[in-house]
Amino acid sequence: MAETLSMQAAINTALDEILTADDRALVFGEDVGTLGGVFRVTDGLAAKHGSDRVFDTPLAESAIIGMSIGLAIHGFRPIPEIQFDGFAYPAMNQLITQLARMTYRSRGALPMPVTLRLPSFGGIRAPEHHGESLEAIFAHVPGLKVAVPSNPSDAYSLLKQCVADPDPVIFMEPKSRYWHKAEFGQPAEAAARIEAELPIGVSRVVRPGRHVTLVAWGAMVARCIQVAELAAEDGVDVEVLDLRWLKPLDVAGISASVGHTRRAVVVHEAPLSAGLGAEISALITENCFDSLRAPVQRVAGFDVAYPAGPLEDHYIPSVDRILAAVQRTLEYRRG
């Protein structure tokens, strides 16, 4: 029987099961042990699995990733957490020059099964560096995979896929969605079904439509569903595509959706310039050029530092901004 579960609880459940099933799995980071994490995602895990499996680290993000690399070399499956996405900047050297390249550098002799849990994006009106949108940086780095859940079921199944993968994965958890609940099946059954149907690198159509495709990930998926529901009141049938994986991108899934609707709007929280929306727009143009009826639209953050506090409301793509982009693409006429 299905139950209602938050994303925070779904991730906690997945971590609990991973630690139970695999003695090589370790969970560590700033305040993840005794406190259970700032967002209580790791709540109760240290008490159940012991302080040698779930433990706190010093406030040193570069050291957290460096330790993860060493543990992976010695056969462990580290699941580190960096407390907020903006705190990842001090760890970029280790992430890019070491973690992402170690398998390549060793000609495959040293796999790096490290899953970095990274509370990401905005929407909680936090101070500076507590809300960022770094997916384009990570996706650009060869050797790293990037996964972004938008709902509890995906958070559970994607995390399990990431930890089982031999490559390093950045698991970006949308902070603003931690406490949003959704129907969630029996965990083991849900994981088996999703892993069978949606392997690594596969997107999901969360709302079918005919007139335009909204491509999004993380918290923006829920916002795009809102847009689709409002557009339906005016007779516009919007399809919403949840990418789930930003590296590798599901080129076939994106092309199939946009090839069907023949129009596309890409929505993300990161700044517009050189954001991942540009890469997706290029892929759509390359693969769907003959069927497109309008240029691909992008709705994104502005080319400024991710703002703190209530200024987020003006920065994060709003329902009105996304609806305006949908209207523009529907009204486009070739000259």
Catalytic residues: 130
- The angle at the Cα of 14, spanning 151 to 99, to the nearest 5 degrees, equals 95
The distance in angstroms from the start CA to the end CA of the chain is: 55
Say which DSSP state 167 is in: S
The rounded distance, in Å, linking the Cα atoms of 135 and 123 is 16
Which residues does residue 207 pair with via DSSP β-bridges, in sequence order?
Answer: 240
- Exposed/middle/buried for residue 84 (C-beta within 10 Å: 0-12, 13-18, 19+): buried
The residue behind tokens 């996405």 is: 85
Tokens (6 digits) for 207 = 């709302």
Q: Is residue 258 classed as helix, strand or coil in its secondary structure?
A: helix
Q: Where are the alpha helices (DSSP H) in the chain?
A: 7-21, 45-49, 61-73, 92-93, 102-105, 135-139, 152-164, 187-197, 219-232, 251-261, 276-288, 312-315, 319-331
Which residues does residue 184 pair with via DSSP β-bridges, in sequence order?
Answer: 3
126-129, Cβ contacts within 8 angstroms, sequence gap of 24 or more: 126/84, 126/175, 126/308, 126/309, 127/308, 127/309, 128/86, 128/305, 128/308, 129/84, 129/86, 129/87, 129/89
Q: Are 208 and 183 in contact (CB under 8 A)?
A: no
Q: Which of 222-245 are b and which e, b meaning 16 or more Cβ less than 10 Å from the residue's Cβ?
A: bbbbebbebbeeeebebbbbbbbb
The residue behind tokens 């809300």 is: 131
Q: Are 242 and 213 in contact (CB under 8 A)?
A: no
